[in-house]
Amino acid sequence: MALLEVENLEVTFGLRQGAVKALRDVSFTVERGERVGIVGESGAGKSVAAFSILNLISRPGYISGGQIRFEGQDLSKLSSDAMREIRGNRIAMIFQDPMMTLNPVLTLGQQMVECLKAHRKISTQEARLIAVEKLRQVHIPSPEKRIDQYPHELSGGMRQRVIIAIALLLDPVLIIADEPTTALDVTIQAEIMELLLELCESNNVGLVLITHDLGVVSQVTQKAIVMYAGRVIEQGPTKEIINDAQHPYTQGLINALPQQTLPGQRLNQIPGSMPSLQNIPAGCAFNPRCEFVMDVCKQTLPGFTRSGGCQVACHMVREMKEKAAQEAS
């Protein structure tokens, strides 16, 4: 059984202008110890997907369909008390901005001890020892001293390390990281990513990494999920997606990176921009920007086609596969 199974997840935001579906028909699985990357541009719904796993979608948003099974339990059906037992304890979350995540008026120790005592019956002394140990694991120098400092005394990279330490406090089996390095510099980003990778591997922790940076995804994850306008459009092993993307949007994203073009040459751009969720085009949501658009793309929503280890939601890929199958038979 997979550690986390998300099936046909649908999230709706009830706005004054009418209901807007931020996620539609999103399905993926995370195995124990597996690292999964969710990639997409802003507005693709990747953060909503991450937040809904922990049932953190706040009003006017709600989970309007589908199932999120974690260790066999459907999380969307749990009471808020039962959900609280899972949050932080079994599934931990790392948020985007390390400047905003820590409480500025509590020392690191107070925040960490509080978190431990909420989930376990232990004394403050014991909790402190665990906290120091976790700070050491994330390579914070002299953790015994640092633990009594306030967040403002730490740099951005250090704060993100502390946040990772807090996420690891209760030995979760799954960590959800929502753009954990977007607010940080490249050298710090490289350090934090390496740290996350090392910790997930040594503790056999699953990771769901939300990011817009394909370079980070290819370095850290084993499986990648590409989202566009609230839907999964391609998913499969990261290597296959990076080296041989099938969906025109994924191809476009990869080819748009400056490192894919010779210096000084025109970059391969995807024309237009992502549609707003209020007026997603009929058929395939990507069709107005797609260079291979066909009539069928404007009318019917593409289902998933298998291609190697990947699943691709594209009519063109499906037709190509069907043709290849006919020729073979």
Partner 1 sequence: MNAQQPILQVRDLEKRFNISGDFLDQLKFQGGKIVRKQENVHAINGVSFDVMKGEALCVVGESGCGKSTVARTVMGLLKPSGGSIHYNGERIDQLSDRAVLPYRKKMQMIFQNPYASLNPRKTITQTLEEPVRFHNPGMSETEVKDKVKAVMFDVGIDPGWGVRYPHEFSGGQRQRISIARALTLDPEFVVADEPISALDVSIQAQVLNLMMKAQEEHNLTYLFITHDLSVVEHFGTRVAVMYLGTLCELAPTKTLFATPRHPYTQALLSAIPRLQDHRPNHIKLQGEVPTPVNLPSGCVFHGRCPHANDRCRQEVPKLVPQSDGSQVACHGVEEGRL
16-24, 26-34, 171-179, 193-201 -> range binding partner 1 (CB under 8 A): 193-201
Taking each helix axis from N to C end, the angle separating 156-168 and 186-203, rounded to the nearest 10 degrees, works out to: 10
The token pair that represents 302 in the structure block = 């593409």
**DSSP assignment letter at 150:** -
Q: Which of 303, 297, 274 has its CA nearest to residue 284?
A: 297
Interaction of residue 260 with partner 1, rule CB under 8 A: yes
Span interacting with partner 1, options 13-21, 76-84, 99-107, 211-219, rule CB under 8 A: 211-219
Which element (helix H / strand E) includes 53?
A: helix 46-53
Q: Which is nearer to partner 1, 139 or 321 (CB)?
A: 139
- Residue 325: Cβ within 10 Å count: 9
- Options 108, 174, 270, 290; binder of partner 1; rule CB under 8 A: 270
Tell me which of 17, 58, 80, 259 binds partner 1, using CB under 8 A: 259
Please give the Cα distance from 41 to 233 (Å, whole number). 13
Q: Does 142 bind partner 1 (CB under 8 A)?
A: no
Sequence-ordered list of residues with C-beta below 8 angstroms from that of 310, at least 6 positions apart, any chain: 234, 235, 236, 237, 240, 241, 246
Joined tokens for residue 295: 């009539």
CA distance 326 to 329: 5
Give how many residues touch partner 1 by CB under 8 A. Answer: 43
Three-state DSSP state, 141: coil
State the nearest-atom distance from the C-beta of 161 to partner 1, in Å: 11
Residues 155-174 that bind partner 1 (CB under 8 A): 155, 157-158
| Contact by Cβ (8 Å): 223, 35 | yes
Interface mask toward partner 1 for 36-75; x: CB under 8 A: -----xx---------------------------------
240 binds partner 1 (CB under 8 A): no
Tell which one of 187, 279, 326, 329 touches partner 1 (CB under 8 A).
Answer: 187
Alpha-carbon Rg of the chain, whole angstroms?
A: 21
Choose the binding region for partner 1 from 63-71, 81-89, 111-119, 180-188 (rule: CB under 8 A).
180-188
Residue 107 CA from chain centroid, whole number? 29
H and E: helices and strands count for the chain? 13, 12
Is the Cβ–Cβ distance between 91 and 148 less than 8 Å? no
Q: How far is the CB of 246 from partner 1 (least distance, A)?
A: 16
Q: Is 15 in the site for partner 1 (CB under 8 A)?
A: no
- Pick the closer one to partner 1 by CB: 7 or 41: 41
| Cβ 74 to partner 1 shortest distance, Å | 34
**118 near partner 1, judged by CB under 8 A:** no
Decide if residue 252 touches partner 1 (CB under 8 A): yes
Contact residues for partner 1, defined by CB under 8 A: 41-42, 155, 157-158, 185-191, 193-194, 197, 212-216, 218-220, 242, 252-254, 256-261, 263-264, 266-271, 273-274
